[in-house]
Structure 1
C-alpha cells in the first residue's frame, strides 16, 4: 500500500510454536486496534496458546483491495497485505506452527469472512462477530456502501459500481461453498440494550450523547443480526457446519463484542489449538 502498517502482537502462553490468529478491527481501525483499547483482548488472550496479530489503520477499507486510490481513505490493498505480505513476515518472526485463523468484528467480521472464502484453506477457522456477509443483496450492498461513506470514502473506488463483478466475488453468501471444511463461528445480538449497555450509558459524562450512540448501536446490531441470520441460512442450505450464537440482548458496542471473544475462541480453538481449547 506504499505506507507503513502498524500492528500489535499478543504473544501466546506456553512454549511455541503456536498458531496465529489475525484479529480485525471495526470501521475506525486507527492507531491501535480497538480490540486492545476497548475490547479487552489483551486480558482475554493472556493465557491462551495462540499468537494474536492486530493490524491498525484500515479505517473504512473493508479489509479488501480497492480498484482506485481514494481521496479520503488512501490506497487500500488490505487483502494483498493480509494474505500475501504479512503472513510471510510475521509468522516466521513468531515461529508459527503454520495453523492460522482470522476473526473480526463489524466491518472486520465481513472482511474476515471475505478473506476466508476468497482464499480457501488459507485459514483453518474464521469468526465473524456482528457482521454483514453479503455485498450484492439490498441490505448487504447498502451496509457496505454506508461503511465506506461513513469515513468519507467514495464507494466507487472500492469495487466500482454497486452490483458489478467485484461486488459479486466479495459476497461471502454467494461464495459460501468455498468455506466448506473451514471452522466457522458467527454471532450477533438482537439490538435490544442489555445491562452492560445501560451501565455504559449511566457512566457517560454526557448521558444524552450516550443514549443517542446507544440508539445508533441498536439499529446497527439489528442489521447485523439480519445479515447473520441470512448468511447462517445459506450455510445450512449448503450443509456447511457453523456455530451460530444469538444473544437476546446487546447492541453494536464494544462491551457486547468483547463478551463474544470467549465463545468465538472456543470455536476457533477446535481448528488451531484443539489440545488446549479455551
Structure 2
C-alpha cells in the first residue's frame, strides 16, 4: 500500500522511507485501511474503513522519533467535536507537533465521532448517524495499527472533556488493551441523574442527537453498563491520571490570549460557560477519586486551583500526565 507526498523521509523509519505500510490487514469483522497518504517525514494519514459503522474515517498518525524498532502507541482523543472541527490537539496546542516530536511513540488521532462519547450506540441517530466507537477502538483500529505500523502492541489512551469519559470506558471494555489512561476535565459518571444531565447537555443540546438512540431511556441498563464510576474496580492495574480545574478564571482566560476564545464575547463564553462546565467535571473527578480510593486503586490526580474548560489547561495537563502515560507504555520518562 502506498501513499503520496512524502519528502525527506526519516532514515530510521522503514514505513516512511518506503512509503508503504508493513501489511494490508483486516480486522476480524472486516475493517481495513483503504488508503495511506504520507504527509511529511513523520506523519501519515490512514483512511480506515469501519465495518461496524460502514464508514471510512481519517486517522492521523505521527510516527516515533526513532522508529527503527517497534514502539508503543498513544491513542490521543479529541473532545466533543471528534477532531472534525478546529477544537483538536493538533490545531489548538503544541502537543503533537511540539512536545511529542522527540518521543518514541506512535501518536494516533482518529477524526470523527462528534458528540458520540466514543461509545457504541444502541440505534442509529437521524443527526449523528451510526456510532460504534467502542467497537472501533477495541476491536477494529488497534489490530490495524499494530499490523500496518509494526508497533510493539503496548497502548495508552488520553482524552479531554467527553473523551475523558471514553478513555476510562475503553480500558474497561477491553481489559489489557490499554496500559495507561489520562482523562482531562472528564466526568466518569453517566448513569446517575447528574451524569445523565451532563451527557444529555453534550449529545442533545449541543450535538443535536438523541440519547434514546445512545443508551435508551434513563432507566435503561445501558447507562450503567457504560459508567466508569460504577465499574471503577475494572481500572485496577492501569496507570491512571485524572485532572481538572475548578471553573475559576486562570492564566489562560485572558482577552485574545493564545488559548482563549477570540474577542470579548469569546472570553465571556469561556469564563461563564467554560467555568460552569469545569466546575461540574471538577465535582465528577473528585467523586471518581473517592471511588478509586475506596477500592484501593492508585491514580495520579491534578486538581488545579483555577481554570476553565479550555485548551491551555489541557495542554499543560497533558505534559503533566506524560510520566504516567510513559510509564504505562514502558518508555523512559524524559
Using the size of structure 1 for normalisation, the TM-score is 0.95
How far does residue 190 in structure 1 lie from its aligned partner after superposition? 1.1
CA gap of 1:195–1:100, structure 2 versus 1, over 3 A, is: same
More strand, by proportion: 2
- In 2, distance between residues paired with 1:120 and 1:204? 38
In the alignment, structure 1 residue 24 sits paired with structure 2 residue 77: yes
CA gap of 1:244–1:204, structure 2 versus 1, over 3 A, is: closer
Q: CA RMSD in A?
A: 1.6
SS of match in other structure, 1:256 = helix
Q: For each residue in 1:246-273, what CA deviation from the matched residue of structure 2 results, as whole angstroms up to 9, or x when unmatched?
A: 1111110011111111111111111113
Residue aligning to 1:268: 325
In structure 2, stretches of 5+ residues that fail to align are: 1-52
In structure 1, stretches of 5+ residues that fail to align are: none
**Max Rg structure:** 2
More helix, by proportion: 1
In the alignment, structure 1 residue 36 sits paired with structure 2 residue 90: yes
288, 303, 309: which one pairs with 1:231? 288
Moved more, 141-150 or 226-235: 141-150
Q: For each residue in 1:73-116, what CA deviation from the matched residue of structure 2 results, as whole angstroms up to 9, or x when unmatched?
A: 00000011111110111122221111101110001110110111
In the alignment, structure 1 residue 88 sits paired with structure 2 residue 140: no
In the alignment, structure 1 residue 46 sits paired with structure 2 residue 106: no
Q: For each residue in 1:138-172, what CA deviation from the matched residue of structure 2 results, as whole angstroms up to 9, or x when unmatched?
A: 22111111111111001100011123211111111
Q: For each residue in 1:11-30, what CA deviation from the matched residue of structure 2 results, as whole angstroms up to 9, or x when unmatched?
A: 12123311001111100114
Residue-pair matches, total: 277
How far does residue 64 in structure 1 lie from its aligned partner after superposition? 0.5
Using the size of structure 2 for normalisation, the TM-score is 0.80
Equivalent residues of 1:6, 1:31 under 8 A apart: no
CA gap of 1:175–1:46, structure 2 versus 1, over 3 A, is: same
How far does residue 210 in structure 1 lie from its aligned partner after superposition? 2.5
Instruction: Compare relative contact order (CA 8 Å, sep 6+) and give the higher one, 1 or 2.
Output: 1
Divergent runs of 4+, >2 A = 30-33, 199-206
Moved more, 58-67 or 112-121: 112-121
Equivalent residues of 2:73, 2:154 under 8 A apart: yes
Equivalent residues of 2:123, 2:130 under 8 A apart: yes
Equivalent residues of 1:201, 1:211 under 8 A apart: no
Residue aligning to 1:211: 268
